[in-house]
Amino acid sequence: TYDSVLGAATAKAKRLSADAVSARIGGANLDTLGRAAAGEAGARRALAVRGDLAAAWMVLGSAFSLTNRWDEAEPAYRKAVDLNPRYGEAWENWGALLAKLGRFAEALAAFDQAEALRPGALLCVTRGIAKLAMARPLEAVADFDRALAARPNDAGLHWNRGFAQLLAGNWAEGWPEIDWRRFEVNTALPWRAFPQPTWRGEDLAGRRILLHAEQGFGDTLQFARYAPLVAAQGGRVLLEVQPPLVSLLSGLPGVERVFARGGPLPEFDLECPLMSLPRAFGTAVDSVPPAPYLTPDPARVRRWRERIGAGPGETARDGAPERTGEAAGPGPGTGPETGRGLRVGLVWAGNPRFQGDRLRSPRLDGMLPVLGVPGVRFFGLQMGPGRSDLGLVPGFADFTDLGPEIADFTDTAAIMANLDLVISSCTGPAHLAGALGVPLWVMLPFSPDWRWLLEREDSPWYPTARLFRQRRVGDWAEVATRVARALQGWG
């Protein structure tokens, strides 16, 4: 009946709003996406009976927003507040969406309306996440603090506060907050509980410690640098990682065993997730363990050199690439003599299941100005769903797609050892290039992931990285134009 459909739609609106807040920065919850589909269906049924139901439009906007259909979500939220100007929840969710779209002044005005109508902890959370989208992390911290005053044990709130502190460079405050992630239930990530105690940096005295990956490939590659340091503390290190990374990481010094996640665990005395290691070592912006710390397989380096061919200056060697004097990556005067025939690897998309991937990935069409630079040999390193872009852009004579020939990350590392430069979005291969010491240019969204910090062109994590940041939300063309100009001026 009409009443039951409307009631279901209204209930979905409440759940979707809460889920929109608790779809944390770390990734979307698949169960949440399932409810989004159900909410959309219920809202459409209600609107088919009566089209002036603000609650149903609100449900529709939330469902669209959670599934990244932002162009459809915006008019749905607008319709909800037009029908009911006192609908505080709709103003709040509309403000969050406007922040993602880069319409910051409108977003703040919408939040002002929401606060006048519906103040409270939930509004502070939503506005705090929106402030992160605006690259205003300290303002986000203030909102999260207000929410935590009412909900002090909310693990997701602490987690978001930690991201904000890390993005602001306040790492001493951020690392303890990030550890709350292990108590967050509104996530699809496989947080695990062990009977063994978590290591916090104390002397290990020969005890066996399990270091385990928990999030994406990029996180594992970034924080694997700590495994040898744990061994140096006297621990017998067992490293559990995603299966595609086992071969690549097996050469880490001091690590007793590297094995794939998902199998039986050996005996161990202590455990620590990789992302908790910076806290254990008290890592600050000026005390990051140095890179490079990974070495490509020499046999594969030789094989890929035959496939790719030599380049000017022949920077690759059988082991790790020899890089000197490239603290901010390549630039004028640091590359080969003529700048012609450069070998440049491209990665343009991350994991689409990551909720923020639409904002962080330029896609291949966002890199077209780079592909137009003459005298450069481009090599596509893209794996996964992002490869679908290859059919959507015009062909380039100097572009070679290596994706079908790449078996694993060990192959990718060997390819990178034969390149002069890697240009990438914020995704796993960018961390691989940085960990290898390969010159790396990263194209970043307006509000980047916390690890890239703000307002700097270099990275404390990767000395060979140079960062190219969006100046406006969604404007990849301007970023790519700057990258292309820098590439033209190299040499």
Question: Do 323 and 254 share a structural domain?
Answer: no
Domain membership flag for residue 71: yes
Lowest average pLDDT, out of 179-193, 253-267, 451-465, goes to 179-193
For the record, the structure tokens of 363 come out as: 């896609």
Domain membership flag for residue 194: no
Mean pLDDT within 354-364: 84
Question: Do 307 and 442 share a structural domain?
Answer: yes
pLDDT confidence of residue 35: 77
Question: Do 302 and 276 share a structural domain?
Answer: no
Question: Do 212 and 179 share a structural domain?
Answer: no
Query: Is residue 56 classed as helix, strand or coil in its secondary structure?
Result: helix
pLDDT confidence of residue 402: 96
Question: Do 220 and 168 share a structural domain?
Answer: no
**Confidence band for 312, pLDDT divided at 50, 70 and 90:** low
pLDDT confidence of residue 446: 96
Mean pLDDT within 377-402: 90
CA distance 155 to 404: 41
Question: Do 233 and 146 share a structural domain?
Answer: no
Residues 6+ apart with CB under 8 A from 195: none
**Confidence band for 353, pLDDT divided at 50, 70 and 90:** confident
Q: By percentage, how much of the chain surpasses pLDDT 90?
A: 75
Question: Do 360 and 464 share a structural domain?
Answer: yes
CA distance 442 to 458: 10
Domain membership flag for residue 413: yes
Residues 6+ apart with CB under 8 A from 81: 54, 87, 90, 91, 94, 113
pLDDT confidence of residue 323: 45
Q: 88-100 and 54-66 are packed helices; what angle lies between their axes, rounded to 10 degrees?
A: 30
**Confidence band for 68, pLDDT divided at 50, 70 and 90:** confident
**Confidence band for 311, pLDDT divided at 50, 70 and 90:** low
Domain membership flag for residue 444: yes
Annotate 5-27 with b (16+ C-beta within 10 A) or e (fewer): bbebbbebbebbbebbbbbbbbb
Domain of 24, CATH number, reads: 1.25.40.10
Q: What is the pTM of this model?
A: 0.87
Query: Is residue 12 classed as helix, strand or coil in its secondary structure?
Result: helix
Residue 29 has pLDDT above 50, yes or no: no
pLDDT confidence of residue 15: 52
**Confidence band for 309, pLDDT divided at 50, 70 and 90:** confident
pLDDT confidence of residue 39: 86
For the record, the structure tokens of 171 come out as: 């790492």
Q: Name the one residue in this structure whose structure tokens are 């890929």.
A: 304
Chain centroid to Cα 371, Å, comes to: 24
Among residues 245, 280, 315, the one where a domain terminates is: 280
Domain membership flag for residue 389: yes
Mean pLDDT within 173-193: 85
Question: Do 413 and 323 share a structural domain?
Answer: yes
**Confidence band for 394, pLDDT divided at 50, 70 and 90:** confident
CA atoms within 13 A on the CB side of 85: 0
Higher model confidence: residue 148 or residue 24? Answer: 148
Q: By percentage, how much of the chain surpasses pLDDT 70?
A: 86
Residue 482 has pLDDT above 80, yes or no: yes
- Burial (0-12, 13-18, 19+ Cβ within 10 Å), 149: exposed
pLDDT confidence of residue 25: 31
Is the peptide bond preceding residue 404 cis, with omega within 30 degrees of 0? Answer: no
Residue 430 has pLDDT above 90, yes or no: yes
pLDDT confidence of residue 11: 53
pLDDT confidence of residue 13: 54
Domain membership flag for residue 290: no
pLDDT confidence of residue 393: 80
Domain of 364, CATH number, reads: 3.40.50.2000
**Confidence band for 23, pLDDT divided at 50, 70 and 90:** very low
Domain membership flag for residue 291: no
Mean pLDDT within 252-273: 95
Higher model confidence: residue 102 or residue 331? Answer: 102
pLDDT confidence of residue 491: 55
pLDDT confidence of residue 55: 92
Mean pLDDT within 74-85: 97
Question: Do 12 and 69 share a structural domain?
Answer: yes
pLDDT confidence of residue 399: 93
Question: Do 215 and 146 share a structural domain?
Answer: no
Residue 215 has pLDDT above 90, yes or no: no
Residue 320 has pLDDT above 70, yes or no: no
H or E element, residue 468: strand 465-469
Question: Do 334 and 240 share a structural domain?
Answer: no
Domain count, the chain: 3
Mean pLDDT within 165-186: 93
Average pLDDT over all residues of the chain: 87
pLDDT confidence of residue 395: 78
Question: Do 156 and 39 share a structural domain?
Answer: yes
Residue 333 has pLDDT above 60, yes or no: no
Structural domain containing residue 467:
298-488
Domain membership flag for residue 197: no
Residue 336 has pLDDT above 60, yes or no: no
